[in-house]
Amino acid sequence: MKPAERRLLQELPTLRRHMASSGVLALLGAVLVVAQASLLAALLADGFDGHLAPGTALAALGGVLALRAALAWARGMLAQRAAADAKRALRERITGRLRDTGPLKLASRPRGETATLLTRGLDALDPYVTGYLPTMTAAVVVPATIVAWLLGTDWSSALVIMLTLPLIPVFGALVGMHTAQRTARQWTLLSRLGGHFTDVIAGLPTLRAFGRAEHQTRVVREMADAHRRATMRTLRVAFLSSFVLETVATLSVALVAVPVGLRLLGGHTDLHTALTVLFLAPEAYLPLRAAGAAFHDGAEGVTVAEKVFALLDEAPPALRAADRRTPPDARTAPLRLAQVTVRHPGRAAPAVDRFSLDVRPGEHIALTGPSGAGKSTLLALLLGFVTPESGRVTVGGTDLALLDPDAWRAQVAWVPQHPHLFAASVADNIRLGRPAASDTEVRRAARAAFADGFIDALPQGYDTRLGERGTGLSAGQRQRLALARAFCKDAPVLLLDEPTAHLDADSEAAVTRATVRLMHGRTAIVVAHRTSLLPHADRVITIAAGRPAPQQPAPAEGPVRS
């Protein structure tokens, strides 16, 4: 059992219960199989002797058959419910843990990766839970029950089955090992050939750009053919395991049926026993054959489990809110960065390098500098999204790392460069920071951010649904919506990341007026690239390569301008 599989069973009690219940159901099923075989054999043996079966015998057999069907229904239903519960538990754990991962790390992941894992990805657990797990228990319980029964009825047949049954896993493992070696040797080739199609499709825009798309049609076919030949080479060996499985299973039926027939000829046994043995022999092998077929499902389920656990283990649980201090009131507490250094993973140069800054309550500071200079990182520091490698960020003298982050952020309104639109109405997007805000307050915030104009023009106004599947907005509209969010939140500290980027001249003037109004009476740190906001700042700090730059940069020289 792989570690991920063991952990899956350890951490999800519903799966342990499922294993236990499917064991019990398998046992019941085996008992019913034995009953069915014995009753049918009796019915047929009596008929052979010329006695027409009594109604009770028929009714008993009918009852057993109906019970088997009911049991199959229960088995299927319980298995699917276990799968649903297991997936729900994993989904809730993942969504619950996302907050601990940290926004910057989440944003750096491929878009939609987690969403895919949570929906389609986890579905690979279905065959694992409904197929693989129950067959694994059944493969032990059912043959044991049947052999035990046969030992009492016809020990020589039981012996044949007992001797041949272990051949299946043994041969299966031998063939499996051999296949694994061969596949491992062919793996690079196989994955390269198999991946070719993906590669070519992903690169199709490039192929077209260089006029090579038509040429590749032939290559796609050739590679797919080469992939087929390589796959078939592997399959010729891999299918040997199913060959062994089927042959052992069917051969054993012959090994049981022929001697029993010969003993009948000699008068050493009776027809009832012989038929019971004939009916039961294949049933003993059935779960093992099913297990062989479900093996692949098991492997896929484990792969998903590994992905899930990798995601869950990624984020160490953060300090709980209870261990953190309540932040001081930002209306009176100064903000301070002291010799702060931040390095992004995988980058040699620090994003912020021994940077110091004191911000008095109510002060307005503009940060300028080329993109990538570390301006946005400074805002992320003040929000507690990144922790400094060295140096301290303090609020009223207390280290930000010791404060309850939610309580601190409650005093901050942030307008990011690329605000996210949530899959909710425009109004709900605006009241993100204050869910209790009334419609009037939402509209007032939108008006203040000069967003009311375009919102009113939307198909359903403030009720228009935004987000992935909803209405898209232009960059400037997003920006104004984010400003409306900040207005609505009405927090004492403002962190604005280029609030007037993406805006045309008219909107820029309007939004500048709105922003200046918003900044009034609040502490504000504004990243401003080329903006009319600069004159409204108490201080302008230019940053280059994570350090405060010496005063005004030399004007750029040279290029001819149109």
Residue 170 or 254: the one with the smaller Cβ distance to other proteins is 254
Interaction residues for other proteins, span 396-455 (CB under 8 A): 405-406, 409-410, 412-414, 416, 418-423, 432-433, 435
Please select the residue that binds other proteins; options are 24, 201, 319, 402, rule is CB under 8 A.
201
Residue 342: strand, helix, or coil = strand
Kindly state the tokens that stand for 298: 């098991």
Residue 34: strand, helix, or coil = helix
Total residues at interface with other proteins (CB under 8 A)? 168
Cα 112 to chain center, whole Å? 9
The radius of gyration of the chain's CA atoms, rounded to the nearest angstrom, is 35
Window contacting other proteins (CB under 8 A); options: 149-157, 165-173, 364-372, 453-461: 364-372
Determine which helix (DSSP H) or strand (DSSP E) holds 390, and give its type and residue range. Answer: strand 390-395
Work out the end-to-end distance of the chain between its first and last CA atoms, rounded to an integer number of angstroms.
69
Please select the residue that binds other proteins; options are 10, 173, 243, 399, rule is CB under 8 A.
243
The Cα 55–Cα 174 span in angstroms is 51
The residue to which tokens 């001249």 are assigned: 505
Query: Cβ distance 149 to 161 under 8 Å?
Result: no
Please select the residue that binds other proteins; options are 11, 85, 441, 490, rule is CB under 8 A.
85
Query: Cβ distance 117 to 307 under 8 Å?
Result: yes
Q: Contact letters (x/-) for other proteins, 119-138, by CB under 8 A?
A: xx------------------
Residue 527: strand, helix, or coil = strand
Residue 6 or 215: the one with the smaller Cβ distance to other proteins is 215
Residue 412 or 524: the one with the smaller Cβ distance to other proteins is 412
List the Cα angle 341/343/346 in 5-degree steps. Answer: 165
Residue 250 interacts with other proteins (CB under 8 A): yes or no: yes
Residue 260 interacts with other proteins (CB under 8 A): yes or no: yes
Query: Cβ distance 99 to 385 under 8 Å?
Result: no
Residue 61: strand, helix, or coil = helix
Please select the residue that binds other proteins; options are 115, 163, 318, 402, rule is CB under 8 A.
115
Window contacting other proteins (CB under 8 A); options: 302-310, 335-343, 387-395, 553-561: 553-561
Please select the residue that binds other proteins; options are 208, 296, 325, 360, rule is CB under 8 A.
208
Residue 313 interacts with other proteins (CB under 8 A): yes or no: no
Window contacting other proteins (CB under 8 A); options: 4-12, 140-148, 270-278, 353-361: 270-278
Residue 387 interacts with other proteins (CB under 8 A): yes or no: no
The Cα 262–Cα 408 span in angstroms is 88
Please select the residue that binds other proteins; options are 140, 151, 315, 501, rule is CB under 8 A.
501
Q: How far is the CB of 106 from other proteins (least distance, A)?
A: 4
Window contacting other proteins (CB under 8 A); options: 155-163, 193-201, 298-306, 395-403: 193-201
Residue 484: strand, helix, or coil = helix
Count Cα neighbours of 330 within 13 Å in the Cβ-side half-sphere. 28
Residue 24 or 202: the one with the smaller Cβ distance to other proteins is 202
Q: How far is the CB of 289 from other proteins (least distance, A)?
A: 10
